[in-house]
Amino acid sequence: MQTDQKTIGCVFNIAASCVVPEKLVYRVKVKSLQSIIDVFDRGVSLILDGNDVDRETLHNAVIHAGHFRTCSSLGLFRLGCSPSGRLTVDAQGAVVAEVAKQRRDELAGCASVRAEELNHHGLLVAHD
């Protein structure tokens, strides 16, 4: 069974999965998500058109090619056209960046990992 992951600080290159193919709606499977910062189609940054408060508003929005809209409260985003390749997402976790830095330093001190080997902006950790 795959568990959701928890975001702490900013996390980059999170894989997204399609949840409503006919509407081009995708989900970022993480807990404690504050916002979706950017969406990339084969590494090319798409343009954010805004954040919707619920699924219905997101589904009914008009979105142009090369753009996307989010519903961060549900971890969803919708594209304006079919992707040309792999989609990845940069996201901000609900935990502030300073706490993420402290946890990163703690992890580096407890494990056989140097602090500079950890992403200095955030962590993506398994969470039950």
Query: Is 60:12 a contact under the CB 8 Å cutoff?
Result: no
> What is the Cα–Cα distance from 95 to 13, expressed in whole angstroms?
18
The per-residue pLDDT string of the chain (128 residues; one tens digit each, 9 = 90 and over) reads: 445 556 666 788 888 999 999 999 999 877 667 889 999 999 999 999 999 999 999 999 999 999 999 998 898 999 999 999 999 999 887 655 555 566 666 666 665 555 555 554 455 554 44
pTM: 0.70
Find the DSSP H helices in 1-128. Answer: 55-60, 97-110
Burial track 87-97 (b if 16+ CB lie within 10 A, e otherwise): bbbbbbbebee
